[in-house]
Amino acid sequence: MADKDIRPLIAGNWKMNGLKQVSRGLARDVAERARTSRLACDVAICPPATLLSVVAEAIEGSPVALGGQDCHPEPAGAHTGDTSAEMLADIGCRYVIVGHSERRADHGETDAMVRKKAAAAHRAKLIAIVCIGETLAERDAGNTIAVVTRQLAGSVPENACAANTVIAYEPVWAIGTGRTATAAQIAEVHAKIRADGPAGVRILYGGSANAKNARDILAVPHVNGALVGGASLKADEFWTIVESCR
């Protein structure tokens, strides 16, 4: 499948942000824009677990999909504080992010763990957004492609395909820093993922995408959308990114 035939995805990762009242308004705002627009991409919102039901209600009946930020590998059990993929599906999720660099750093998640979580997402009929990417030290050492290749091979289940998996490339050094990888840097990594990843899978860029740089990023070869962090917390900015897919 050629990239021109792949429908882009813009996914907002709210991270650990949001209380009910403001988040409900933000989700409703995005949903209303989606209802009244001719979308050239798929749109998803991934709020914290405490807001999933609030956002699900706010976007109901709109083209906006709901996503979780993490899931446990097991469907149920004695895992205090965790949420299973089945629970996410039950509340209305279509997507779940797994292996985000902040989970890998803050919780010591390995490629093997990320792979189990992605497999759990597939088990629950969710689309796994599998995150991979290098640190600044790894890039400076010239190891970007080696790191991405290792994480891709170790984090993506064997049954992954375009229907159940999205790959998000997030250079760790560009997340929340205001720095963005150059077009050439993005193109190099996305070309490698396209060559080695599941056929036709959507490949998102996830390093500080915002309203100002989104159009240029989305024009880079093999970029099929964006995993948006801070900019997804502002409806106007997030929607500018969505409309950059036109």
**CA 231/CA 25 separation, integer angstroms:** 16
Task: Kindly report the number of other CB atoms within 10 A of residue 167's CB atom.
Answer: 29
Catalytic site residue from 86, 102, 134, 170 = 170
At residue 149, what are phi and psi to the nearest 5 degrees? Answer: -65, -45
170 given a catalytic annotation = yes
Given 100, 122, 190, 222, the catalytic residue = 100
Angle at 175 between CA 16 and CA 186, to 5 degrees: 140
| Structural element, H or E, at residue 41 | none
Assess whether 100 carries a catalytic annotation. Answer: yes
Q: What angle do CA 146, 147, 153 make, to 5 degrees?
A: 90
Taking the C-alpha atoms of residue 18 and residue 22, their distance in angstroms, rounded to an integer, is 7
Q: How far is CA 105 from CA 4, 94, 135, in A?
A: 34, 25, 10
**DSSP assigned state of 205:** E
CA 201/CA 127 separation, integer angstroms: 11
Q: What amino acid positions are annotated as catalytic residues?
A: 100, 170
